[in-house]
Amino acid sequence: MLEWSDVDLAVRDAVRGFVDKEIRPHVDALESGEMEPYGIIRKLFATFGIADMARDSLNKRLAKLRDGGASAGTKSSSGSMFGGDGGSAGMGFVVVSELCRVSMGVVTGMGVSLGLTVPTIMGRGTLAQQERWLPDLVTYDKVGAWAITEPESGSDAFGGMKSYVVRDGENYILNGQKTFITNGPDADVVVVYAKLNEDEAGASPSNPRDRLNPRDRKVLTFVLDRGMDGFTQSKPFRKMGIHSSRTGELFFEDVRLGRDRLLGESENNAAGDGRDSARSNFSAERIGVAAMALGVIEECLRLCVEYAKTRTLWGKEIGQFQLIQLKLATMEVARMNVRNMLFRVIEAAQKGTSISLAEASAIKWYCSQAATDVAMEAVQVFGGNGYMTEYRVEQLARDAKSLMIYAGSNEVQITHVAKGLLS
């Protein structure tokens, strides 16, 4: 059976120290919105040299591109959102799981910027575009957002997409709306997916049947900067959980975009249609849920074990009752299963093999459900205290529930798993 490496364990202990010093004392402020998460993330990057490592890795990549050693439009080989190769995947997952024990929102805000925005620009952008946006994003000096979801599309992200661009000479005009966008209220750089609104060649303007079905229109990918004319970012939503992550809406009203903002600067990107880009990111995002779930489960188990040893009823520690033992044992089995799924991902990264979309969906489905079940059982173990914010298990339960919707609802994951089996 795989185990965490000595390096992974050393990173874990160091991150725990950082969390205890820099995050736990501020959880209430993060949850209330009094404190934004971005400063903490930047302090994390500075403390562990993540910004410097990311900057060095990017500079090497850009130098290679300039020398013609790689081409724009190729995907990053990064094994984690922190950069590096597959050998560092375990280290990245350790950081994610440890942070999620205390503040999942810090991770989602960091993960969307580094795990979705950066790879999309890196995988689809020209050299000039990568030079323009990536230096500040990889170091988290600027915050990124990744905008696909719309109010009426939900899980039908591409078919139901209504945001569109039309050509205006060499430029494009963007209109539409995105919702549930992590970092949306505060993002400096936003990757936006929109459909190209055009008639098919040879179509008759008088016969709508000759025109391309809107569901099948080409999806293009653009990069927007905060403050552009016609681009509005909403105030943060109020949510059930992950309060330390700021989520909002984006509005586009006749936003003029030069071709330099179209990733790849071509409607026929070497990396494929915008759908292809998004699907590869879906897999990475769903795999990341395993690390997030592990953090929730481990923290719930730690709190419940401590509580079972100190809480007494009828003159006994509640840990002596078989029902409580069953709950703790079930949590431990969930922890082992989720951890082993994560090790499967790490092993694949080390071998340079990819995880299929179906397997990524299976991992996300199981791990998010396991984390939610464990967190709700933790509330039960604590009884009335579990309903009180100061005992923290209620926060873990709310955060865990979000994982069943985050990165695509679990109902959608089931269809992907089934399609993988039936194909």
Question: Could you tell me which residue, 413 or 77, shows the higher pLDDT?
Answer: 413
User: pLDDT (tens digit, 9 = 90+) per residue, 231-278?
Assistant: 999 999 999 999 999 999 999 999 999 999 999 999 988 877 878 777
Question: Could you tell me which residue, 206 or 254, shows the higher pLDDT?
Answer: 254
Which residue from 155, 151, 157 is spatially nearest to 195, judged by alpha carbons? 157
According to the model, what pLDDT value does residue 337 have? 97
**Residue 217 is which amino acid?**
R
Set 285, 299, 359, 394: catalytic member: 285
Q: Which CATH class is domain 146-272?
A: mainly beta
Which residue from 11, 17, 4 is spatially nearest to 95, judged by alpha carbons? 11
Which CATH superfamily is 6-142 part of? Acyl-CoA dehydrogenase/oxidase, N-terminal domain (1.10.540.10)
Residue 285 is a catalytic residue? yes
pTM, full prediction: 0.90
Q: Tell me whether the CATH fold assigned to 6-142 matches the one assigned to 146-272.
A: no
- Supply angle C-alpha 292, 108, 220, rounded to 5: 120
Tokens standing for 246?
């700021």
Domain ranges of the chain: 6-142, 146-272, 276-422
Tokens standing for 165?
């661009």
Which CATH superfamily is 276-422 part of? Butyryl-CoA Dehydrogenase, subunit A, domain 3 (1.20.140.10)
pLDDT at 306 over 70: yes
For the chain, the average pLDDT equals 90
Question: Could you tell me which residue, 212 or 98, shows the higher pLDDT?
Answer: 98
User: pLDDT (tens digit, 9 = 90+) per residue, 393-415?
Assistant: 999 999 999 999 988 899 989 99
CA 328, distance to chain mean position in Å, is: 29
Helices (H) and strands (E) in the chain, counts: 13, 9
User: Cβ neighbours of residue 407 under 8 Å, at least 6 residues apart?
Assistant: 282, 285, 286, 288, 289, 364
CA separation, residue 342 to residues 45, 86, 97 (Å): 23, 13, 11
